Structure 1
């Protein structure tokens, strides 16, 4: 079934930068002014969503599994919510080839100086938190806010602002000529986002189906100069929350997508040709994998906490137990964080942290110009294990081959020139 509107294309004129200052020989050597093809996404606010019954049934079952996980474990392990959120942030960033250990990510969130990747993933966590907090209203402003938080330390990418230039995915940083994908010209972005938001409000479309299609349309629009992939997956979390599929925790769906990155990219391409089934299937499979993986993470953390109960020597009313409750959801801490959580002064937090360090439950390290951090290597190992499971690729033969329908595009038409910018390869999808 392919009633969904496919993208069309239009021709744009590209000119090398500073072409006016070049001599004709150099301009010709660099390729001179040439046409390239940009995407024109269809509007989808009122488009018919037609999918095989088996695909719809599977998506509905997966949505119920997400809701069941949230209902069963959300109220009991609300404290684990930040762990799952950070795991989703790490996994979502890993799709874009940003990887870092759990220890580095948690340390970066406390202001520790570390790898740039960890800082970016920490920013992604803040974006996902923003997605949850703004889920009551899926609006263009909410989407810009997600991006603004994600990209706060990258001002050259105009955090929270729609792009005012072209972006493309490909190997060349010089021009979009021959790029794998060229996003629509920037003048189209505001109207396309308004259309996407209207589609996201359609209550008759099943929740997970709507989430998958809205995500794919967002990535097709590519409304920002960078960070489109991470923002798009934050948007998916917001829609799941808005549709009440999840209420208590951010179930790490992006981690499920890690199992088949190639399939995810191919599904986006199929979506743009009018074939909805692959992207819905990818989100369905990712949701099921995410639930299984998240349940394992919760079980691992429970096991660690049970071990603490046996090993730690302290009175039942000692503050060390409250510290361990905090460490279970935030496995890298400092004294000010513990003080805020417990409602005590920082100087009173140090004895509790030292006690747990002396008992071998926590390890400490002084961070340059920041202070001392304490960590639970056991909880960090559980989170790293979660990321490792998420990153395991499925065998190629595990996904049935689906023939790609022939792609028919309308004749090209000319438009006015516009400035161009390349988005780094691999980012944004």
Structure 2
């Protein structure tokens, strides 16, 4: 088994070559040295890990809880409620962004997803997170360097400073320091990124580690390599869902694990630090706690949406073969829509979509958003409230 010394970061001295003449205080200038220390992560592709037996047992229990929740959704919701998987995916995407203080409400996110850009860049960033999470889940069979680049490109599209879809080619560091000297953490020099990612991808193919332990270590290693200029946290959290699905824990939906991590971000970052010092136990424990919290919160969201749908069904008076019944389940995954988006999603004509929207407004299921006369946006406020309640529970801890 690997001991702490084998896993712990090494450090290498690298010559400091400033790239700009930014103004510095006297104290900042005094800290600058000719070299700085950058992390050198251990190769983990074939490393064995010693995890405390109690931590390992709890991680296995959490993995079982994830699988039970996945099965429960199938029993709770019949086939026409398949959009619930998209609901949980969206809440996970939003939670993942919130860890990096990119916050948005469920209403703004739903509007951004249908192209209502005027509702702000934060909502647009979280909408991109949904796209990236979809890509992560889709690549569950195999994590490759190109797949990681594709996820990052989806997350950071139009954010040129992050060089979307490209590994970094410069040194980065974490913390407010204007130079690596005195930074909270200095990831590997960019010349080491490609080899580090290759090693990580080989590690993700292993089948000899318990699933949650495997996912937690892969996530911590990715965050340590820090392969991008920006968007590392969101990309890393998207990748963990690919591994959960590849490991068979989730089949129907994306468990909102990042929402569980929201409960104690300080503990999450402390666990990453412990991993870099050679102890993988805390990050495994943090993922375990996050999984249990996510299952509990996900169950509550599922029950809330089940209640919402039952109430809706009691308000619709149309005959059972009417198109409005085809539209109703779509509102769970897309609580903001226009006639055009409804036509596309449901595969119906404009007159049919417009008629369904009128019926849903009359039944107090949809409300008009704003006073536009063209491209009117409708919002299912009951779903928005359920999603916002989910996010609030995650933040409260």
Q: Is the pair's TM-score, using the shorter chain for normalization, greater than 0.5?
A: yes
3-state DSSP of counterpart to 1:11: strand
My pick for the range that moved more, 3-12 or 61-70, is 3-12
Q: Does the 8 Å CA contact 1:367/1:373 hold for their aligned counterparts?
A: no
1:126 corresponding residue in structure 2: 131
Deviation at 1:13, TM superposition (A): 2.4
Q: Which aligned runs of 4 or more in structure 1 are off by greater than 6 angstroms?
A: 26-29, 367-370
Is 1:156 the counterpart of 2:161? The answer is: yes
Tell me the distance in 2 between the aligned counterparts of 1:285 and 1:184: 29
> Which has the higher relative contact order, 1 or 2, with Cα contacts under 8 A spaced 6 or more apart?
1
- Relative distance call for 1:134 and 1:330 in structure 2 (3 A) is same
My pick for the range that moved more, 179-188 or 335-344, is 335-344
Structure 2 segments unaligned to the other structure (5+ residues): none
Tell me the distance in 2 between the aligned counterparts of 1:337 and 1:260: 38
1:102 is matched with which residue: 106, 111, 129?
Answer: 106
1:49 corresponding residue in structure 2: 49
Tell me the distance in 2 between the aligned counterparts of 1:74 and 1:33: 59
Tell me the distance in 1 between the aligned counterparts of 2:20 and 2:112: 40
1:14 is matched with which residue: 16, 31, 36?
Answer: 16
Deviation at 1:311, TM superposition (A): 2.1
Deviation at 1:345, TM superposition (A): 1.8
Q: Does the 8 Å CA contact 1:157/1:225 hold for their aligned counterparts?
A: yes
In terms of fraction of residues, the more helix-rich structure is: 2
RMSD across aligned C-alpha pairs, in angstroms?
A: 2.3
3-state DSSP of counterpart to 1:248: coil
Q: Does the 8 Å CA contact 2:2/2:48 hold for their aligned counterparts?
A: no
Deviation at 1:340, TM superposition (A): 2.0
1:348 is matched with which residue: 327, 333, 352?
Answer: 352
Q: Does the 8 Å CA contact 1:78/1:249 hold for their aligned counterparts?
A: no
Deviation at 1:337, TM superposition (A): 2.0
Q: Aligned ranges for residues 3-402 of structure 1 at < 5 Å?
A: 3-4=3-4, 5-18=7-20, 30=29, 34-74=34-74, 76=77, 77-113=81-117, 114-172=119-177, 174-366=178-370, 371-393=375-397
Q: Does the 8 Å CA contact 2:339/2:375 hold for their aligned counterparts?
A: no
- Relative distance call for 1:137 and 1:315 in structure 2 (3 A) is same
Tell me the distance in 2 between the aligned counterparts of 1:10 and 1:327: 54
Tell me the distance in 1 between the aligned counterparts of 2:53 and 2:252: 30
Structure 1 segments unaligned to the other structure (5+ residues): 394-429
Q: Does the 8 Å CA contact 1:251/1:290 hold for their aligned counterparts?
A: yes
- Relative distance call for 1:30 and 1:347 in structure 2 (3 A) is farther
The one-character-per-residue Cα deviations of 1:311-351 (angstroms, maximum 9, x if unpaired) are 22222222122211111221111112211232222343112
Tell me the distance in 1 between the aligned counterparts of 2:167 and 2:26: 31
Deviation at 1:365, TM superposition (A): 2.2
1:425 corresponding residue in structure 2: none
Tell me the distance in 2 between the aligned counterparts of 1:129 and 1:206: 24
TM-score (normalizing by structure 2)? 0.93
Tell me the distance in 2 between the aligned counterparts of 1:190 and 1:137: 17
Deviation at 1:370, TM superposition (A): 8.1
Q: Does the 8 Å CA contact 1:268/1:279 hold for their aligned counterparts?
A: yes
Tell me the distance in 2 between the aligned counterparts of 1:3 and 1:227: 31
Q: Does the 8 Å CA contact 1:148/1:160 hold for their aligned counterparts?
A: yes
The one-character-per-residue Cα deviations of 1:96-127 (angstroms, maximum 9, x if unpaired) are 01111000001101100212111111101110
My pick for the range that moved more, 260-269 or 153-162, is 153-162
Deviation at 1:366, TM superposition (A): 4.7
Q: Does the 8 Å CA contact 1:335/1:349 hold for their aligned counterparts?
A: yes
